[in-house]
Amino acid sequence: MPNDDDLQTLRQRSIAQALARAPADGVHETALPWLRVIRASAPVMPLPAIYEPGLVLVLQGRKQARLGERTLRYDAMQCLLVPVTTLPRSHVVEASADKPYLCLRLSCETQALAELLMADGDAPAAPASEGDAGLQVAPVTAPLLDAALRLLRLLDQPQDLQALAPLVQREIFYRVLTGPLGPRLRVLAQGDGVARRLNRVIEQLTRRFAEPLSIDELAGLAHMSPSTLHLRFKQLTTLSPLQFQKTLRLQHARRLMLGDGLDAASAAHRVGYESPSQFSREYRRLFGTPPRSDARQLRGGPA
């Protein structure tokens, strides 16, 4: 197993593999539905984003995410753990044509992350609090990067991919969760704790964002009063439950316009808006420009 002295060698080999998978800017799918390679050759403006549960492993460049009043910077040789769906404003802050921003994005359901952590009885017992389950960053270790490099190389071995890739995926998350980020996720895995109950609400909102959901229904799911849910949810996500749902709707509408070519009215209806004018007003408030103008502008640039 490599030690810390091998980090730079592993990093250069990983960058070469990532560049081969991402020859141009954008989000590149792989043969594994839970693995993507992301590349950007220039800084971009901050925009609202959806961070789904999983891991971001940065190989080159730097990115920044702002969640409420907190700004999180993660650069080369750092990994970002996303334990629950989060809606920050994020952007690439360091990238160039010679040294593009490169990262690996590994998806993993929150429940699977929690089960993996709980299966490790020897995980570090560092303190964690109920409000400490949001975005977290830690350095990339040599064993973690070695596993990521083996995963990238497996993409060239289709005969072995389906059998071996899940084992390497599990190893990667094991390396992260037995390190300094593990105690944060343990909060989500603990019995019927507050963070675990809030995660049920987040998962419900994520699955049913286009449906009308009442605060009373969500509070019942969390076994909290509506006022307690509002307070605790905002502490974890910086948004109220209904603001969280509205942001998800607008984000998915944007994806529909850009990815599927839907017009603004069709996208608004698809994500649960009955009033096109209300959709346009709230879209402009979130993204800074009306939906039609935003779609035209972004179709002319990199994804």
How far is the first Cα of the chain from the last one, in angstroms, to the nearest whole number? 37
The average pLDDT across 107-119 equals 73
Q: How far apart are CA 108 and CA 115, in angstroms?
A: 11
Contact 160, 154 (CB under 8 A): yes
The average pLDDT across 251-258 equals 92
Q: Mean pLDDT over all residues of the chain? A: 87
pLDDT at 192: 62
pLDDT at 225: 96
Residue 19 has pLDDT above 70, yes or no: yes
pLDDT at 260: 85
Residue 79 has pLDDT above 90, yes or no: yes
Residue 195 phi, psi dihedral angles, 5° rounding: -60, -40
The average pLDDT across 174-195 equals 75
pLDDT band at 14 (very low <50, low <70, confident <90, very high): very high
Q: How far apart are CA 194 and CA 227, in angstroms?
A: 14
Q: How far apart are CA 232 and CA 130, in angstroms?
A: 9
Quick one: what percent of the chain has pLDDT higher than 70?
A: 86
pLDDT at 300: 61
pLDDT at 120: 60
pLDDT band at 150 (very low <50, low <70, confident <90, very high): very high
Residue 184 has pLDDT above 90, yes or no: no
The average pLDDT across 91-101 equals 96
DSSP code per residue over 23-77: SSSEEEE-SSTTEEEEEESS----EE--B-SEEEEEEESEEEEEETTEEEEEETT
pLDDT at 299: 64
Q: How far apart are CA 59 and CA 79, in angstroms?
A: 9
Half-sphere exposure of 49 (CA within 13 A, CB side): 19
Element (H, E) at 222: helix 215-222
Entry pTM: 0.84
The candidate with the shortest Cα–Cα distance to 61, out of 12, 95, 13, 21, is 95
Interior/surface letters 118-132, b for 16+ CB within 10 angstroms, e for the rest:
eeeeebeeeebebee
pLDDT at 129: 42
Higher pLDDT: 303 or 175? It is 175
pLDDT band at 177 (very low <50, low <70, confident <90, very high): confident
